[in-house]
Amino acid sequence: MTDQSLVANSGADHPAGAKSATTNEEGRGGRRGRGGAETRRAARRGGAREQLGQILRKIPCFEVMNVEALEIIEHNADTVLEEVGLEFRGDAEALQLWKDAGCDVQGERVHFPRGLCRELVTENAPQSFTQHARNPERSVQIGGDATVFAPVYGPPFVSDLDQGRRYGTIADFQNFVKLAYMAPAMHHSGGTVCEPVDVPVNKRHLDMLYAHMRYSDKAFMGSVTAPERAEDAVAMAKILFGEDFVRDNTVMISLINANSPMVWDDTMVGALKVYARNNQAVICTPFILAGAMAPCTVAGTMTQTLAESLAGMALAQLVRPGAPVVLGSFASSMSMQSGAPTFGTPEPAMVLYGMGQLARRLGVPFRSGGGLCGSKAVDAQSAYETANTLLPTLLGGVNFVLHGAGWLEGGLVSSYEKFMLDADQLTMLQAMANGVDMSENGQAMDAIREVGPGKHFLGCSHTQANFQTAFWRSSLADNNSYEQWESEGGLNAAQRANKQWKDWLAAYEAPAIDPGVDEALLAFIAEKKAAVPDAFT
């Protein structure tokens, strides 16, 4: 059913980590020529920019908490699980699983014996796993020293400088998938890159999944808006990857949000169970507006996040021991005047650093971060706030980074220009992850000896040998003189990004796919769509 040269189930396993490690050794920035097969393939594809492969960190993690503080949070999280308990609403199977595991279940409230959730996770869940892409070179390692960037997830609106702010459509959705496919440091195709509100709500997951499968060859996320849609995602993945391959490998990762505080609802738990049962990965994320859905303190938010995520990850282990899970944390601060979420603030950054430490202690991959902001415009506010989240994302050792590019207006908008600017920043973070080159060439003592006092290094042999790869280079920053910049129209960064996304989309070429697979996917979708009437709510 599948073209053996293009899809993942080509007979051999393909450990993504090892491949990516090689990639990472070879190229450290968006500009370096790779040479060989990869370049030729990229050239054939036309649209695809040179791809960097996922990050394998060579720098340490920034750790804001000491061990004593971490132990307090862990103790408190266990107290929440034991004393307060969590509610699992509308899912009798989940309640029964908890009861069988030894929990005290009162109605929908589950009280967990101290340590139970942690034990279920540490004894069963993998510390790291491979999420396979249909192009084996795009498979990614989730966990360990790896960092994987994925695009923005969830906005109902899109915006660009030409058409302004509007509801997202499936055409916009496809555009963002294409841009993510082309972006060198976007390691993942993501999930709901925007809501395609022109497609019926009960059918759009089919078109969204198809867009990821057809217009990109990177790994992607599954649908979570209903258990049956998760089943559709698994079914489509089986068409794309082959049934056997999906049974034995993880080819999807899906975002399972807690309904904080301390509630898991039936929709999310239903999707979690589908994916866990199929050995597909779930990210258990308390999505927290601190002050409303958790205490208005960093430590309190961390405690609740840990408790809620632990319960979600543990449930996945009860469904299928060994199911790949990710500890997710999304915390925004809040304007205590207006109730609006605020981004780029210090408190969420500290939650991120601390939760990263807690995830590493637990031994599971960690999801957080991204390029978050509350700004309505692609302006200085959007960039300060985004950078204040993106840099902690790298330094805090996040493994899976949702919202890596394109997020605007508190997640209500997928912005085309912001996507390009953020994607450019991701290549910067990728270069930073390589740390300091302490090789003899990196030490450059010969250069210092050759040049000596009062001379310059521009012409010395060391500079000549290294100048093409010496520094990370932005594809959107303007570093020309004021006069030159002005003579070229005095464009600001958003205006330059506007040109870039149009250039990229114009150059886009879809990755090849086996026509039989494509037909089978389209037939599946057509059948599913015909089976039920459209629904828009």
- The nearest distance, CB 343 to a second copy, in angstroms, is 8
Q: How many Å separate Cα 212 from the centre of its chain?
A: 14
Tokens 């692609």 found at: 378
Q: Which of 429, 513, 521, 525 binds a second copy (CB under 8 A)?
A: 429
**Looking at 1-9, 40-48, 254-262, 515-523, which segment touches a second copy (CB under 8 A)?**
254-262
325-328 and 341-342 as β-strands: parallel, antiparallel, unpaired?
unpaired
Site for a second copy in 465-524 (CB under 8 A): 466-468, 470-474, 476-482, 485-486, 490, 492-494, 497
Binding residues for a second copy, how many (CB under 8 A)? 122
**Looking at 208-216, 231-239, 318-326, 457-465, which segment touches a second copy (CB under 8 A)?**
457-465
Is 297 among the residues that bind a second copy (CB under 8 A)? yes
Q: 430, exposed or middle or buried, with CB in 10 Å at 0-12, 13-18, 19+?
A: buried
Answer whether 215's CB lies under 8 Å from 174's CB.
Answer: yes
Bin 46: left if φ > 0, else alpha if -120 < ψ < 50, else beta.
left
- For the chain, the 3-state helix, strand and coil shares in percent, each to the nearest 5, are 45, 15, 40
Q: Which of 300, 363, 510, 514 binds a second copy (CB under 8 A)?
A: 300
**Number of alpha carbons in the 13 Å side-chain half-sphere of residue 458:** 3
Site for a second copy in 404-423 (CB under 8 A): 409-410, 412, 421
Nearer to a second copy, 45 or 89 (CB): 89
Q: Which of 438, 530, 531, 535 binds a second copy (CB under 8 A)?
A: 438
Q: Which of 21, 42, 161, 263 binds a second copy (CB under 8 A)?
A: 263
- The nearest distance, CB 25 to a second copy, in angstroms, is 17
Q: What H or E segment, with its residue span, contains residue 427?
A: helix 416-432
**Looking at 62-70, 212-220, 359-367, 529-537, which segment touches a second copy (CB under 8 A)?**
62-70
Nearer to a second copy, 324 or 371 (CB): 371
Q: Which positions from 68 to 87 touch a second copy by CB under 8 A, shown as an x/- string?
A: -x--x---x--xx--xxxxx
Site for a second copy in 155-214 (CB under 8 A): 165
Site for a second copy in 326-345 (CB under 8 A): 333-336, 338-342, 344-345
Tokens 């993690």 found at: 61
Q: Which of 33, 46, 321, 435 binds a second copy (CB under 8 A)?
A: 435
Q: Which of 375, 399, 414, 498 binds a second copy (CB under 8 A)?
A: 375
Cα separation of 342 and 36, whole Å? 46
> Angle, to 10 degrees, between the axis of helix 204-215 and the axis of helix 227-241?
30
Tokens describing residue 531: 């089976």
Tokens describing residue 36: 């060989």
Strand partners, 332: 289
Q: Which of 32, 34, 41, 109 binds a second copy (CB under 8 A)?
A: 109
| DSSP-assigned letters across all residues of 356-371 | HHHHHHHTS-EE----
Q: Which of 10, 122, 225, 259 binds a second copy (CB under 8 A)?
A: 259
Cα separation of 517 and 167, whole Å? 31
- The nearest distance, CB 333 to a second copy, in angstroms, is 4
**Phi and psi at residue 336, to the nearest 5°:** -75, 0
Nearer to a second copy, 59 or 512 (CB): 59
- The nearest distance, CB 518 to a second copy, in angstroms, is 38
The per-residue b/e assignment along 384-398, b for 16 or more CB within 10 angstroms, e otherwise, is ebbbbbbbbbbbbbb
